[in-house]
Amino acid sequence: MSLCSLRHVSAFYGDFQVLFDVDIEIGEGQAVAIIGANGAGKTTLLRSITGMLKRTADSIHFAGRSITGLPAYAIVALGIAMVPEGRRLFPSLSVEENLMIGAHTGRPGPWTLKRVYGLFPVLFERRRAPATQLSGGQQQMVAIGRALMSNPRLLLCDEISLGLAPVVIKSIYEAFPAIRAEGTTLVVVEQDIGRALAMADTVTCLQEGRVTLVGRPKQFSRADITTAYFGS
Amino acid sequence: MSVFALVDPVLQGLLLGGLYALFAIGLSLSFGIMRMVNIAHGDIIILGAYATLVVVNQLGIHPLAAMVVVVPVLAGFGYLLQRILLNPVLGEDILPPLLVTFGLSVIIQNVLMAVFSADSKGVHADAIQTASISLGGGLAVGWLSLVIFVVAVAVVAGLELLFARTGLGRAFRATSDDQAVAQLMGINNRHLYAVATALAFGVTAIAGVFLAVRTTFIPTLGPSKLLVAFEVVIIGGMGSLWGTLAGAMLLGVAQVIGFRYDSGSGVLAGHLVFLVVLLLRPQGLIARTRDL
């Protein structure tokens, strides 16, 4: 069953068009990887879903209703959370306060402070520290925990491995099975193709704002993906 | 020189700082949360003073009791003003809100002029306007000054507690850090900004009531109060309300000492201290550092 569907989504930054008629179906409980080169429109796609960017009329549906006209703060309350690129933690808030503000909408669900600390025990030790004093990997854990605190049905992760050491990336990705076990649907935007394909049920490749490949990761050869990624 | 001549102006200046802190807190709040400078801030103080006059004349209650009416009315005015007029012009560019609030300043002054004339007005309170407590050695502090100072400290402490301990305070700080990501947390920034302005105007209304009880006022007094508020916020350090209180007390002491030295140079002494602080410690007395 489709949880979130994008039909003919076009997006602009001013007069500059970034997305052209993008169609994506995200099934409930699935893990979807969105891959593509820099500037392909991956982040723009996530920003369109969250309402941070104005979208073309009636093109995005979530849980059976159109969310196209809704502002970002109302979309979170429906159950879509985002881990933004570069983490974007609140520097004036402590680790614990960053997590607590994730629960601002008061959506009920399995994720509480205690559960997030269970998932990332190191955050419990550092809970009083200002969020920006943590290491990059720990900050990424706060960003993921902050998104989980809103108990999302759909969790969007934008480039969570960017700028982190491989061993740190591995420890962060180890958290995803526990998140998916709650039935949370996952959309992961990654430049690290190998990692994205390893965890995803379906993969969508974007190139210059258009979908160039959709399907199960196993369907495709390296050459297919390279073509979809860079063009032929 | 006697001890009295030294201690008395310092004491009176510190107490005057209470009033100046109340003048400045609203300005500090709207800059801190929304990065918005309200040029009409001083006129809101004067609006509060005239509102006190109206409430006292209509209801016949004590001017300090008028606060119960004036504060919520101005807070409500602030909420609506932010939602209707100011939210639409808030953005990356800081100029539009400056222009809009400058226009608002002109409008408020002219409406007050049309309704109340240019004659100076005042409200009559009971003995609190003149009563004082003797501290011995010729030292005395006015009851009113003391009440204003205590209220100022209570307001600063209350707001600091609100910011540090409550969900609303957390939302204010998060929005101040990064309003786009704050919306991703489900924070409706339009409503939150309006609540911030309501809070700022509420505190400013308290200042207006005290100004009305303390002295006479005319419709065009606002800009001079805005200047005091600016100096206090900059001396104290942006983003710290305890800094605002400290800055207000320093400015108060400078003015009173200047005034004692020469009755025409009190305000000038305040400006000079402001300039010295700006030169030696541009981040203010209590700077709240943020790694953004």
| H or E element in which residue B189 lies | helix B189-214
* Predicted pLDDT of residue B290: 44
A150-156 mean pLDDT: 97
What's residue A114's pLDDT? Answer: 96
Chain segment A193-218, per-residue pLDDT in tens: 888 888 899 999 999 999 999 999 88
| Confidence (pTM) | 0.91
**Listed range (A1-5, A121-125, B124-128, B243-247) with the worst mean pLDDT:** B124-128
Helix (H, G, I), strand (E, B), or coil: what is residue A99?
helix
Q: B122-171: per-residue pLDDT in tens?
A: 998 777 778 888 888 778 889 999 999 999 999 999 999 999 999 999 99
Set out the domains of chain B in order of their start, with CATH numbers. 3-129+140-280 (1.10.3470)
Predicted confidence at residue B1, as pLDDT, reads 55
pLDDT score recorded for residue B288: 66
Taking CB atoms and an 8 Å cutoff, what residues of chain A touch B170?
93, 97, 100-101
Interface of A with B in 90-129 (CB under 8 A): 90-93, 97, 100-102, 104-105
| Distance, CA of B175 to CA of B169 (rounded, Å) | 10
pLDDT at res. B5: 76
pLDDT(A111) > 90: yes
In 3D space, the residue among B167, B240, B260, B212 whose CA is nearest the CA of residue B19 turns out to be B212
Task: Say how many CB pairs under 8 Å bridge A and B.
Answer: 69
Best residue in A70, A90, A100 to probe B by mutation, most B CBs within 10 Å? A90
∠ CA B45-B49-B54, nearest 5°, is 140
Amino acid symbol at B16:
L
Instruction: Compute the average pLDDT of residues B278-286.
Output: 90
**What distance lies between CA B228 and its chain's CA centroid?**
9
Q: Is it the case that residue A181 has pLDDT exceeding 70? A: yes
Do A93 and B177 lie within an 8 Å CB cutoff? Answer: yes
Burial classification of residue B154, based on how many CB atoms lie within 10 Å of its CB (0-12 exposed, 13-18 middle, 19 or more buried): exposed
**What residue type is assigned to position A112 of the chain?**
T
- Spatial distance between the Cα atoms of B105 and B79, rounded to a whole number of angstroms: 17
3-class SS of residue B239? coil
Q: Does residue A77 sit at the B interface (CB-CB below 8 Å)? A: yes
Structure tokens at A77: 């309350």
Average pLDDT across chain A, whole number: 92
Q: What is the pLDDT of residue A221?
A: 86
DSSP for residue A68? T
Residue with tokens 């305000």: B267
pLDDT at B240: 85
Which residues on chain B are in Cβ contact (under 8 Å) with A150? 185-186
pLDDT of residue B292: 33
The DSSP code for B124 is -
Closest approach of B64 to chain A, Cα-based (Å) = 37
Q: B230-239: per-residue pLDDT in tens?
A: 999 999 988 7
**Closest approach of chain B CAs to the CA of A216, in angstroms?**
30
CA distance B290 to chain A (A): 7
Pairing of strands A16-27, A154-158: unpaired
Q: Identify the pLDDT of residue A197.
A: 87
Q: How does strand B132-136 pair with strand A80-83?
A: unpaired
Residue A102's pLDDT is: 96
Report the pLDDT value the prediction gives residue B110, as an integer from 0 to 100: 98
**How far is it, in rounded angstroms, from Cα B166 to Cα B161?**
8
DSSP H or E segment with residue B141: strand B139-142
The per-residue DSSP string of A22-49 comes to EEEEEETT-EEEEEE-TTSSHHHHHHHH
Structure tokens that stand for A110 in this block: 């399995």
3-class DSSP state of A18 = strand
- What tens digit of pLDDT does each residue of B62-116 get? 999 999 999 999 999 999 999 999 999 998 898 999 999 999 999 999 999 999 9
Using CA atoms, how far residue B90 sits from B80, B96, B179, in Å, is 15, 7, 12
Higher pLDDT, B100 or A221: B100
Q: How far apart are CA B147 and CA B160, in angstroms?
A: 20
| Residue A128: closest CA among A82, A96, A102 | A96
Stretch (H or E) spanning B22 = helix B3-34
Residue to test with chain B: of A73, A95, A149, most B Cβ within 10 A: A73
E runs forming strands in chain A? 2-13, 16-27, 31-36, 60-62, 65-66, 80-83, 154-158, 185-190, 202-207, 210-215
Asked if this assembly's ipTM is beyond 0.85, the reply is yes
- The whole-number pLDDT of residue A129 equals 95
- What domains appear along chain A, each with residue ranges and CATH number? 29-52+71-230 (3.40.50.300)
Identify all chain A residues contacting B167, using CB atoms and an 8 Å cutoff: 100, 104
